[in-house]
Amino acid sequence: AHLDRVEAVEPEVGAFLHVDRQEALDAARRADEDRAAGRAVSPLAGVPLALKDVFTTTDMPTTCGSKMLEGWVPPYDSTVAARLREAGVVILGKTNMDEFAMGSSTENSAFGVTHNPWDLERVPGGSGGGSSAALAAFEAPLAIGTDTGGSIRQPAAVTGTVGVKPTYGGVSRYGLVAFSSSLDQGGPCGRTVLDAAMLHEVIAGHDPMDSTSIDAPVPGVTAAAREGAAGDLRGVRVGVVREFSGEGYQQGVLDSFRTAVDTLTELGAEVVEVSCPHFEYALGAYYLIAPSECSSNLARFDAMRYGLRVGDDGDRSTEEVMSLTREQGFGAEVKRRIMLGTYALSSGYYDAYYGQAQKVRTLVSRDFAAAFERVDVLVSPTTPTTAFRIGERADDPMAMYLADLCTIPSNLAGNAAMSVPSGLAAEDGLPVGLQIMAPAMADERLYRVGAAYE
Ligand code: GLN
């Protein structure tokens, strides 16, 4: 049924870069057989899923939305893909994304834009817009995204779906093509908090192949989602981040947020206002740290080891081939990030830019630590506005970067955070997201509060 739905809506939505009907049907059949034979199967066995095209898969290309990797079929499965397969989850295909996960609209993909199913003239958010659009268009009930600065939560917010950035290190990065290694984190997406929780438990957990993977039991997120569904938040302390409101926020987003806070109070939560004074510098710090790490990570695309190679006619030097390939293989935003990053890391500028940004990162973490002494979770709008029109911010990187204003602090600190649907904005009828933030290793709090709220 989902494959039929994909076929019907893809011409308009464009969420997928690759769908393998036969592989999907075979995987579904195997899940059915396992269940019929009484073999122990995960509750998600046989459930279809849309996988962001930044995770390596041996049976499908992995392009990261880049010409650089067009048609590249990796020789190994990412840990996330391997765990999905082990659980019998059916990978329907790979979803569209901003090139190498750099963007907030999915307009930076080399393979075309994805449309928001709520309004086809609008973006589905980014960089994981393909995954969120697939959920919102009912092409798949589950999806996987990655969140470096908001790319799970921001698309979830603007498509009316649920997206979770687990604690950094909670989900293995092995086989997740690196953008900014100290920030990148894979996570679950769904249409309900419980669905996301069940998927979280399938993909999370220690992996010796990722040196930053946390070696501790996976938080009991499914139990927390079930507990939260009872709608009782008595004893839970919720902090409203004072800095995330006011100028630059759409009225309907602020109204929805105010209503959400009232709802949390009605459910029994104790709500207080909390100040996180350094959050306003988080965006600036992120746009130095993420490009710096990206400039280093993307050096591997050297025309020798993977994918595209341009101009290798026997007369050109290795350097010329490398340079031609990178010129033609990378899109404008990726080039901008590489230039910003190499500049910020260059000698003489390192202390002023990269070093300074790392100090801000520490201050943001301290703000969180102080806040979490007083409250169990923090809340804010996920995004300052609802989905914007395709093309509207394409020539204005600053406007595009502002889409992640509220999501970036949790990445800098390595905390867990979720976006859960929070109704529609009055002025445009488009979905709004409520962001819930929890300390590292306390992911279950997101699910308890999120399930109570949804
Ligand atoms: N929009 C942010 C960026 O472009 C976040 C991207 C992400 O989380 N992958 O860097």
CATH of the domain at 193: 3.90.1300.10
The residue type of 150 is G
In a mutational test of the pocket of ligand 1, which residue from 66, 98, 183, 435 has the highest number of ligand atoms less than 8 Å from its CB? 98
pLDDT of 40 strictly over 80:
no
Number of domains the chain is built from: 2
pLDDT at 245: 86
**CB of 79 sitting under 6 A from ligand 1:** no
Within 10 angstroms of residue 86's Cβ, the number of other Cβ atoms is 11
What is the token pair recorded at 262?
């009232």
196-205 average pLDDT score:
98
CB of 64 closer than 6 angstroms to any ligand 1 atom: no
Query: Does residue 408 fall inside a structural domain?
Result: no
pLDDT at 377 over 80: yes
The answer to whether residue 426 scores a pLDDT higher than 80 is yes
Q: Which residues contact 68 (CB under 8 A, 6 or more apart)?
A: 301, 306, 307, 308, 325, 326, 329, 330
**In terms of domains, do 211 and 303 share one?**
no
**Which residue among 334, 352, 370 closes a domain?**
352
Q: Is residue 247 part of a domain?
A: no
Q: Are residues 302 and 207 in the same domain?
A: no
Q: Ligand 1 mean position to 169 CA, how many Å?
A: 18
End of a domain among 352, 372, 389?
A: 352
Q: What are phi and psi of 146, to 5 degrees?
A: -135, 145
Q: What number is the ipTM of this complex?
A: 0.97
153-187 pLDDT, tens digit per residue, is 999 999 999 999 999 999 999 999 999 999 999 99
The reply to whether 266 falls in a domain is no
Residue 400 Cβ inside 6 Å of ligand 1? The answer reads no
Q: Give domain status of residue 31, yes or no.
A: yes
Q: Is residue 300 part of a domain?
A: yes
Q: How does pLDDT run across 103-162, given as a tens digit for each residue?
A: 999 999 999 999 999 999 999 999 999 999 999 999 999 999 999 999 999 999 999 999
Q: How far is the CA of 319 from the centre of ligand 1 (A)?
A: 30
How far is Cα 35 from Cα 67, in angstroms, rounded to an integer? 40
Task: Mark whether 288 and 208 lie in a shared domain.
Answer: no
Q: Is the pLDDT of residue 247 over 90?
A: no
Question: Distance of CA 376 to CAs 237, 356, 442, Å?
Answer: 5, 30, 9
Alpha-carbon distance of 261 to 253, in angstroms, equals 12
> Band of the pLDDT at 76, cuts 50, 70, 90?
very high
Q: Of 352, 373, 397, which residue sits at a domain end?
A: 352
Tell whether 47 and 111 lie within a shared domain. yes
Q: Does the predicted TM-score (pTM) go above 0.90? A: yes
Residue 223 and residue 295 share a domain: no
Domain limits at 341? Answer: 284-352
Average pLDDT over residues 43-71: 97
Please tell me what DSSP assigns to residue 39: -
**Would you say the CB of residue 105 lies under 6 angstroms from ligand 1?**
no
Q: What is the mean pLDDT of the chain?
A: 97
114 vs 9: CA distance, rounded Å: 12
What phi and psi, each to the nearest 5 degrees, are found at residue 125? 80, 180
